[in-house]
Structure 1
């Protein structure tokens, strides 16, 4: 695809610790300035970082989320990004009727699995959202519905009122887990090796202050569960020595965002650095329903606890 270099945009300073840093080569936050992007999921494949996002299409004056498709942005140096997409839409799922909310992409056995939260056109016991999965042989597609039906719906035993924000983690032993949830209710379930079937009963996620947007990563022997807390949302975290818990509360790592009531994060290690990938609403015309992709550093204390993220208007330095 054509390589696009988005213009650097320096967001207005706010009382919420946005810091403008002087660096030789930085991208600028937000990362993407030619459309509104939200709910990022980072994934490393080879020497490239891929960040998959939703797409906010609401007008500046409008209310409510308008989201129809998903994009991807790839980089090898954290400064120059290539735009891919839209790569997938709710229309690619015959059983869906709209609302392309948060998603998660993971590589497994040479294929790329895109877990999405979209509204089901037939099943509506609660809010009618379901989790589906698309698959591709390449990180930028083409993707297609992998099973022709939803993986999780309102009718799934022990599902939640709002089945959104899927996140998949594959443990060291190869066992895959799907996490999701919203409205203060989180869930997890084992997946079969195909990633296309549940492997057992849906379990309740017990984590202090959980609201939505679960994401799991591991450092050393410790599992970190990050998630949005309360509403408007901060990002908080808990830790465990097991992917299935119990989870010990760790604290707030990302403060409330000006103009954006949602907080949705992904954490990724790339070329020896750890990054906190999120959205804000700092582009001109940005609102609660018009958000923008950002990247900043994630750092740990010596005891393994996560330092609070310092938001910047520059993003992170170039890497080789």
Structure 2
């Protein structure tokens, strides 16, 4: 039995070894990496001549996500024109290694790649489009082929192109819904606020959906609290402060957005308080954003105010 186990072990070891086949070497430092990163720096600096010095005459670049089987790639001339375009249209352009990432140089041991080196990079591109103000802030993955003369002959790009859609759309004016200064959702916000003013929490909270989320400017990003937690917080607040008056500033707006059909009331108020501990009068400016669902219920409340005003 022991002999059978040993034979099986040897068979699996041989099979496992046979499944591995070395096909070259990966380098963390290599002349090909240097030429690639120098070219990217020159591109970001808008140095057309320097970029040209790093690429071969038969250079081609490709969009790695392009599904066009007949794509012929872009030439060296196209690349150099791109240098000029980006220099004239993008401010603050930077191309840097992504945090924690570094490029690899791969020397393959096969007849197809005997005289070239593949370099793969993970970078982050940032900048601002001059005309539209759209911010570029996106990861880039690139594969390069560097020839025996240490010139870049191929570049394959992988990146999210959606930011270019936003730039293109920003060249024309487009309406995104309708703004109302009188609307039933505005009426609901006013009734809710004045119910709080008059210590009628039962009425105030009937305008909120039971799954409503609450947040304010002092909370960590993406953190919210529930309706129950909001009620508890309001009760604690009323133990410390008396609401003398809540007065509207200007007029509320109801925005019914075209994109996603979002429904938002924005309003501005002065909350006039008396602190019970020392009878100090405090005026707190506050802005609210209230999101509504299709049933006319508040699903999100966002509050913007200075908590510093409430400190002892």
Highest CA radius of gyration, 1 or 2? 2
Higher relative contact order (CA 8 A, sep 6+): 1
Indicate the structure with greater strand content: 1
TM-score after normalising by structure 2 = 0.19
